[in-house]
Amino acid sequence: ETNDRITAKRFIEKMDSLKIYEFFLISEDENLLVEVKNKNGFSNCILKLNHLNHNKTIFNRVFIPIDLIDKETVKSFLKRAYTVYTEANTLIERKKAILAGVHGIITSEPVDLLKCYNEFLKDTQVRDVFFIAHRGLHNGYKESISPENSLETALYVANSGAEIIEIDVHLTLDDEVVVIHDFKTNRVSKDKRVVSKTTLNRLEEVKLKKTNVQKGLSQIKSLKDFLTPFKDKDVNFFIEIKPISRKLVINTIKVLEELNMKERAVFISFGFKNIVWKKTYLTTINNGYLYSKDFSSNGTFLDLLIFLISLDSTFNPQYQNIKEDIVRKLNNYGITVWPWTVDGIKDIYRVYTMGVMGITTNNFDSVKDEFLYLSINENYDYIIGSELEIFVNNYSLSGKNTQRRGNLMLVSDGDTGIRYHKNKIIEAKNEGVAYFYFNVPIKLPNGEKINKTTELFKVNVKLK
Residue 57: per-residue pLDDT: 72
Whole-number Å distance between alpha carbons of 462 and 459: 9
358-361 and 130-134 as β-strands: parallel, antiparallel, unpaired? parallel
Nearest to 334 by CA among 358, 318, 312, 351: 312
Whole-number Å distance between alpha carbons of 284 and 297: 33
**Helix axes of 5-18 and 30-39: crossing angle, nearest 10 degrees:** 30
| Cα separations in angstroms, 415 against 125, 402, 412 | 29, 33, 8
Q: In this structure, which amino acid lies at residue 207?
A: K
Local structure of 54: helix, strand or coil? coil
| Cα separations in angstroms, 356 against 33, 123, 181, 325, 451 | 27, 14, 25, 11, 16
Whole-number Å distance between alpha carbons of 168 and 23: 35
Nearest to 292 by CA among 314, 270, 275: 270
Query: Which residues touch 129 (CB under 8 Å, ≥6 apart)?
Result: 352, 356, 357, 358, 359, 371
Residue 163: per-residue pLDDT: 98
Show the 3-state SS of 200-265: HHHHHCCEECCCCCCCCCCECCEHHHHHHHHCCCCCEEEEEECCCCHHHHHHHHHHHHHCCCHHHE
- Which domains are delineated in the chain? 5-123 (3.20.20.190), 130-366 (3.20.20.190), 372-462 (2.60.40)
Q: One digit per residue, pLDDT tens: the chain, 464 residues?
A: 999 999 999 999 999 999 888 899 999 999 999 999 988 888 999 999 987 455 567 789 999 999 999 999 999 999 999 999 999 999 999 999 999 999 999 999 999 999 999 999 889 999 999 999 999 999 999 999 999 999 999 999 999 999 999 999 999 999 999 999 999 999 999 999 999 999 999 999 999 999 999 999 999 999 999 999 999 999 999 999 999 999 999 999 999 999 999 999 999 999 999 999 998 888 888 999 999 877 665 678 888 888 899 999 999 999 998 999 999 999 999 999 999 999 999 999 999 999 999 999 999 999 999 998 999 999 999 999 999 999 999 999 999 999 999 999 999 999 999 999 999 999 999 999 999 999 999 988 788 899 999 999 999 999 98
